[in-house]
């Protein structure tokens, strides 16, 4: 459903800083809404679970 990015948030400060910078760049991308595991993401999925589940079911049913 979007670009996959490998982020590492470990104890190594340089690696963590690079990952945080990459996350900030993603957040500034046009069309970015929220992170899935953020409070906004969790609220979105709670409010729209019915529509999302129907769309996913249609994807599976209509695959050939």
- Give the domain ranges of the chain: 1-32, 34-64
HEC letters along 11-64: CCHHHHHHHHHHHHHHHCCCCCCCCCCCHHHHHHHHHHHHHHHHHHHHHHHCCC
pTM as predicted: 0.61
In this predicted structure, what is the pLDDT of residue 4?
A: 75
Residues in the chain: 64
Q: What is the pLDDT along the chain (64 residues), one digit of tens a residue?
A: 566 788 888 778 998 899 899 999 989 989 888 888 899 999 999 999 999 999 999 988 887 5
In this predicted structure, what is the pLDDT of residue 36?
A: 83
In this predicted structure, what is the pLDDT of residue 63?
A: 75
């Amino acid at each position: 459903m979007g670009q996959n990015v490998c982020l590492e948030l470990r104890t190594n400060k340089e690696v963590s800083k690079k990952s945080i910078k990459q996350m900030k760049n993603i957040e500034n991308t046009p069309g970015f809404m929220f992170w899935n595991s953020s409070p906004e993401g969790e609220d979105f999925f709670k409010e729209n679970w019915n529509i999302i589940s129907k769309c996913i079911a249609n994807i599976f049913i209509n695959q050939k």
